[in-house]
Amino acid sequence: MNNPHPSFDEIYMDLATNLAFKSHCVKQKVGAVLAKDTRIISLGYNGPPAGTHNCDEEWPETGCERDRKGSCYLALHAEANAILYATKNKVDLDHSTLYVTLSPCLPCARIILSVGIKTVFYLNSYAAYKGIDLDEGVEFLKKFGVKVVPFKEHYRTIQPV
């Protein structure tokens, strides 16, 4: 018989998925949850830094400007926002777990490794989203001992009773 109670992993990925809806990005909405010892320690979603422009309000058709590599000029990634909020509030991230709806890019992977996150669950592939052949961030994290788990294998839609 299946366990009717969702796991913490499922709950946190559901929360990350719902947080993505808070994003003001018109290109891709991403959510992130940081947890440690079955407790949420930080949340984040992709978007511009506080005090700048919300892309969906300022540029609803096109989104914000692009940099020379074609990336959003203003956007902070969901996992970076969650990490920045935690560190700003002096939260210890060592041995924490990240749940994110899009696998980390290489720059975010470097930050994840540097702050001591030990496990990353992701729902969708950054490489597939960008149309590239390799999830560089995922490979980087694996190379340096961070456990990286594609969550689709474990994910179930939670049905309220």
Residues annotated as catalytic (active site), given as ranges: 79
CA separation, residue 130 to residues 12, 13, 19, 71, 140 (Å): 25, 22, 21, 10, 17
Residue in the block written with tokens 């440690």: 36
Measured between its terminal Cα atoms, the distance across the chain in Å is 16
Quick one: which of 100, 94, 96, 95 has its CA closest to 138? 100
Answer for the pair 102, 121: CB distance below 8 angstroms, yes or no. no
* Cα distance between residue 31 and residue 17, in whole Å: 6
Return the C-alpha torsion angle 94, 109, 102, 20, nearest 10. 60
- What lies within 8 Å, CB to CB, of 75 at 6+ separation is 25, 46, 47, 48, 55, 64
